[in-house]
């Protein structure tokens, strides 16, 4: 008896042969007795079918950006995600492109574990109106827009004033996001299953320049003081322009993102080492 009954296999839309690969995976799944459907993340009808329920496994083909899309779709539904790397380096992805037949064999045999990672709930308020809400896998960024000038952002933690940042931006990140933009901005690397929220300023100007690690129960409210363009973006999605008086509220989401893993629980540090060694600055001095 396979551990899953119905699987959806979604490829990154711009991926050459992505749909063909997805259909090949579905054929293998069906040989194991699992009902499957193949498509891309541009297939709106299929995405609606996933959102209505009925699938208990999502297989995503692409790179780390594709895994973010998969997380946005699957986390609210509690569906685990198996990532297959079709890009260059997949920090979040478990299986390389030529290894998926073996991975499916292990999956169907129940030889895997599920890693649960914290996600964030981010909401933008203007007065009493909610302008947007996002489930966030990596980070929420509030930063300057087209003008090369710092922004002023007042941050509260649990309704207690923390500070006013004068910086290029402010990142609120998950442990998953600690190896993304937050890392580039000088933040710490957190273990993937830790239950903490990161607050990291970007290029602070004569203001608090240290990252903060907050408890998962923390509620962060950010008030932008807007005298030039200031924008908000969640997981790299299309930015929204903020106005003076807007409020951005970020807290832990009740919906973790679930990744299927075959490697041991120490996999993260081995992947991290490989990731760091791939960068030119480590190669230069090694």
pLDDT of residue 284: 41
Per residue in 34-63, pLDDT (tens digit) is 999 999 999 999 999 999 998 999 999 999
pLDDT of residue 283: 42
- Between strands 139-144 and 169-173, the pairing is antiparallel
> What integer best gives the mean pLDDT of the chain?
92
Give the SS3 label for residue 266: coil
The dihedrals phi and psi of 101, each to the nearest 5 degrees, come to -60, -40
pLDDT of residue 4: 96
Q: How far is CA 35 from CA 2, 32, 68, 208, 283, in A?
A: 11, 9, 24, 53, 46
How is residue 175 annotated by DSSP? Answer: T
Rounded to 10°, the helix 100-108/18-31 angle is 30
Looking at the structure, tell me whether residues 30 and 62 fall in a common domain: yes
> Among 8-17, 66-75, 100-109, which stretch is predicted with the lowest mean pLDDT?
8-17
Looking at the structure, tell me whether residues 246 and 266 fall in a common domain: no
pLDDT of residue 14: 85
CB 187 within 8 A of CB 220: no
Looking at the structure, tell me whether residues 139 and 223 fall in a common domain: yes
Looking at the structure, tell me whether residues 113 and 127 fall in a common domain: no
Give the SS3 label for residue 110: coil
Q: How many domains does the chain have?
A: 2
pLDDT of residue 278: 60
Residue 228 lies in a domain: yes
Residue 93 lies in a domain: yes
Q: Note if the pTM is more than 0.85.
A: yes
The residue with greater pLDDT, 33 or 284, is 33
Residues with Cβ < 8 Å from 210, sequence gap 6 or more? none
**Rg of the chain in Å (alpha carbons):** 20
Query: In the chain, what percentage of residues exceed pLDDT 90?
Result: 80
286 pLDDT above the threshold of 70:
no
Per residue in 135-178, pLDDT (tens digit) is 999 999 999 988 889 999 999 999 999 999 999 999 999 999 99
119 pLDDT above the threshold of 90:
yes
Looking at the structure, tell me whether residues 245 and 261 fall in a common domain: no
Sign of CA dihedral 141, 261, 60, 3: negative
Give the residue numbers annotated as catalytic, written as ranges: 64
Q: How far apart are CA 192 and CA 176, in angstroms?
A: 6
Q: How far apart are CA 73 and CA 83, in angstroms?
A: 14
Structural domain including 31 reads 6-117+256-285
CB 281 within 8 A of CB 102: no
Give the SS3 label for residue 20: helix
Give the SS3 label for residue 51: helix
Looking at the structure, tell me whether residues 140 and 211 fall in a common domain: yes
Q: How far apart are CA 120 and CA 4, in angstroms?
A: 27
Q: Bridge partners of 222?
A: 155, 248
Looking at the structure, tell me whether residues 260 and 190 fall in a common domain: no
């Amino acid at each position: 008896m396979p551990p899953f009954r119905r699987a959806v296999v979604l490829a990154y839309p711009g991926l050459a042969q992505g749909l063909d690969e997805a259909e090949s995976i579905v054929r293998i799944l069906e040989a194991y007795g699992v009902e499957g459907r193949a498509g891309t993340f541009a297939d709106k009808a299929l995405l609606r079918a996933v959102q209505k329920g009925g699938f208990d496994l999502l297989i995503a083909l692409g790179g780390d950006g594709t895994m973010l899309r998969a997380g946005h779709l699957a986390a609210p539904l509690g569906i685990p995600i198996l990532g297959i790397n079709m890009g260059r380096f997949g920090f979040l992805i478990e299986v390389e492109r030529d290894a998926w037949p073996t991975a499916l064999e292990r999956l169907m045999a129940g030889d895997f574990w599920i890693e649960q990672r914290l996600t964030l709930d981010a909401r933008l308020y203007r007065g009493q109106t909610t302008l947007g809400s996002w489930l966030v896998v990596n980070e929420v960024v509030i930063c300057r827009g087209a003008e090369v000038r710092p922004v002023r952002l007042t941050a509260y933690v649990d309704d207690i004033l923390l500070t006013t940042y004068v910086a290029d931006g402010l990142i609120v990140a998950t442990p998953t996001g600690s190896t993304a933009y937050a890392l580039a901005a000088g933040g710490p690397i957190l273990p993937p299953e830790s239950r903490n929220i990161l607050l990291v300023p970007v290029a602070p100007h004569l203001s608090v320049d240290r990252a903060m690690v907050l408890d998962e129960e923390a509620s962060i409210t950010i008030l932008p003081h807007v005298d030039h363009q200031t924008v908000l973006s969640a997981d790299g999605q299309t930015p929204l322009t903020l106005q003076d008086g807007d409020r951005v509220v970020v807290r832990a989401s009740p919906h973790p993102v679930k990744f299927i893993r075959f490697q041991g629980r120490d996999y993260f540090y081995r992947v991290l080492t490989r990731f760091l060694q791939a960068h030119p600055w480590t190669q230069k001095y090694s």
